[in-house]
């Protein structure tokens, strides 16, 4: 996530005024903007860049690569960060009518997690593992050592 890798250095590049104004997630959400969160391509950067829960943790924890707080007044909770990475991502792609949330008429794309993100500490968010991935309700990936869910368990 850009917060961890670049935010500490941004004021050096664009000016000191950017220090408390970068990545204003809280303000944007409060103003009604549908912002998207995402993991990034791993090309010579942080090894976890492609891990969505690392990106979600960066949105919540707002810490630089060296552990410094980044504009803490713009911090958001885990539910807002999850929404950014689900419905926010679908909205950014123009697919909010078919993806991004579980609702009648939408594709049943979902993941099964090893822990509830709402019940872990902020420091534990990045370590959440995906046990299973379902696309349109069909299991397409099961983590090694995990028993797949069956259709009966989803009812």
Which one, of 24, 22, 27, lies nearest residue 10 by Cα? 22
Residue-wise pLDDT for 110-131, tens only, equals 899 999 999 999 999 999 999 9
pLDDT value at residue 46? 62
pLDDT value at residue 41? 62
**Sheet architecture: strand order including 110-113:** 110-113, 130-135, 138-142
Residue 43 pLDDT grade (very low, low, confident, very high; cuts 50, 70, 90) = low
In eight-state DSSP terms, residue 151 is G
* Mean pLDDT value of segment 38-66: 80
């Amino acid at each position: 996530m850009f917060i961890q890798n670049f935010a500490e250095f941004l004021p050096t590049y664009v000016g000191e005024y950017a220090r408390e104004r970068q990545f204003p997630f809280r303000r944007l959400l409060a103003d009604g903007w549908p912002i998207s969160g995402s993991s990034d391509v791993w090309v010579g950067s942080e090894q976890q860049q492609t891990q969505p829960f690392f990106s979600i943790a960066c949105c919540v924890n707002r810490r630089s690569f060296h552990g410094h707080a980044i504009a803490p007044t713009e911090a958001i909770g885990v539910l807002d960060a999850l929404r950014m990475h689900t419905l926010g991502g679908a909205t950014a792609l123009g697919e909010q009518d078919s993806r991004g949330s579980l609702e009648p008429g939408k594709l049943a794309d979902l993941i099964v997690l090893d822990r509830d993100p709402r019940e872990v500490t902020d420091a534990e968010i990045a370590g959440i593992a995906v046990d299973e991935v379902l696309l349109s309700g069909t299991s397409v990936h099961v983590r090694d050592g995990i028993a797949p869910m069956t259709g009966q368990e989803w009812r």
